[in-house]
Structure 1
Amino acid sequence: MAEERSMPKGLKPATDLGPILIFFAAYYFGDLYIATAAIMVTTLIALAISYYYTRSLPMMPMVTAVVVMVFGGLTLYLNDETFIKMKPTIIYAIFSVILFAGLALGKSFIKILFDNFWDLSDDGWKKLTIRLAVFFLAMAIANEIVWRNFSTDLWVNVKVFGFTAATFLFFIAQVPMITRHQKPQDPDGSA
């Protein structure tokens, strides 16, 4: 089995945000089809870099990559921008459904993803899961409203800046709840 390497500082945010920033630049220096091809390529590069360092492919980036490849491919093959505009809706809806399904099964998939970052009570994980599932559902609805009713220019700006800012603000808004539900630490530093 291959050994996991530590990812250089700053590379994780670059692999997370790089594809969307390249999409934005390619759109403004080219068009939506060039931007679609660019996000497809950079998404695969980001996954390859992540795999090189971690020797695993995280679930959320994998789901995103599959949807990017399918809907990006359809956009390019059919020469129809509708598919790439639907991509965020599909991704957000998938994540929302997965989180709600996990809750119905008595599981918090968010706990599996973020257990290394936070040590929350079961109630805290449940609340965070519900909030994130509702947030993803709201983002899916917002994407549908924007791409169906406004210009492509506005949709690209909302996708790149609006959705990124909304996600950042969502997690900032969760800090008080996360803090309230942190498990107490023993004096030796363990939970």
Structure 2
Amino acid sequence: MNILGQSSGIPWSIIIPVVIVIIAIVIFLVIGQFLSLYIRALISGAPVGLIDLIGMRIRNVNPTAIVNSRIQASRAGLAITTSEMESHVLAGGDVVRVINAMIAANKANIDLPWQTATAIDLAGRDILEAVQTSVNPKVIDVPNPALGRATIDAVAKDGIQLKVKARVTVRTNIKSLVGGATEETIIARVGEGIVTAIGS
């Protein structure tokens, strides 16, 4: 009765340590890629568990983006947990833009809770641009010259054709941003108003 190790000429006393070393190297490589993120988060005062980092990779979430966002949020004084950030990423959101928007809102003394920011982001709106427009109003040209029209043309009651351009200044109201008008909607509504005013 030959044992596999004896039949190949390699004793089990060599095979077992080699297998253990190979397993140890694989474990070190798997944990090693997360170790630098773990240490960086720990030193920055925004600890993220090593098991959490491995779990993020398994759930197809970028652990580097989560750790960087967690560090940014912690430094800015925002109390946002790792699980909240990960949930937002799993829902299809952009956690980096949300954190940057919340930091900008915090510095501008704008109340922007995590739930509101993530809802705006998941609705497909650019939350960072919304915060910036809330701080610095945006000027919109009507009609948009980038779309090929330089003026709005309308005919008055007396038959005179008028060519009109307008500039509209808008400021974002973050609380009503979800379901609110986009830039294209504003351009269309102002254009309709101009045509109606000229025709009446």
User: Shared fold (TM-score greater than 0.5)?
Assistant: no
Of structures 1 and 2, the one with the larger relative CO (CA 8 A, separation 6+) is: 1
Choose between structure 1 and 2: higher helix proportion: 1
- TM-score (ref. length: structure 2): 0.26
